[in-house]
Amino acid sequence: MRKREFAFAATLIIAASVMLFAQSIQAPRYQLPPKEIIDAFEAPPLPQAILSPSRQVMALLYRRANPTIAELARPMLRLAGVRIDPRTNGPHLTARIYAITLKKISDGSEVKVTPPPQANLSNVHFSPDGTHLSFLNTKDNGIELWVAEVASGKAKMISGVQHRPNRLCRQGRTCRRTTARLRRRQRTKT
């Protein structure tokens, strides 16, 4: 009789463990939150406003809400607490600005700046006299300097720049800092 009870108990334990194991094998499904929560996370952020030095024009910067998976997955170097993208020698994550609108304070008229295709803009600054707007466009393999006229909104890339631009000087000319990429090129030539 004892052998039968032991065999029955062992069979129950084995059956229960097989059932639990079978349930744990089924992969849990990815569950989406309610639509309201998704809409709240995907809502476009409010534009950032930058006022010109003359206080006559305001630049409205429109940016993407969240970085893409591809942006987050790019390799990065961690140097002294700064995350650097080795392909561009710039910051790992940028401001993700995709459009700039210039709004005159006096009459409320707006001028759209013509951005480069697939714009990923950052470091937007007015010149000291407020007639030009400079910004950086981060591409997959480098960073470009662009300058826009405030009156017309027409932007053009400053070509042939072998330095990293960061701001405009007092006269509206571009100031430059040497990039790590230029230093690397000079080292390999010698």
Give pLDDT, residue 71.
85
Cβ pair 148, 100 in contact under 8 A? yes
Cβ pair 140, 87 in contact under 8 A? yes
Task: Mention every residue, 6+ apart, whose C-beta is less than 8 A from residue 88.
Answer: 138, 139, 140, 141, 142, 143
Low-confidence ranges of the chain (pLDDT < 70): 1, 20-27, 160-190
Beta bridge partners of 176: 165
Q: What is the pLDDT of residues 83-96, one digit of tens each?
A: 988 888 888 888 88
Give pLDDT, residue 174.
43
Give pLDDT, residue 93.
85
3-class DSSP assignment, residue 81: coil
Cβ pair 38, 66 in contact under 8 A? no
Give pLDDT, residue 25.
63
Give pLDDT, residue 127.
94
The domains located in the chain, with CATH, are 44-189 (2.40.128)
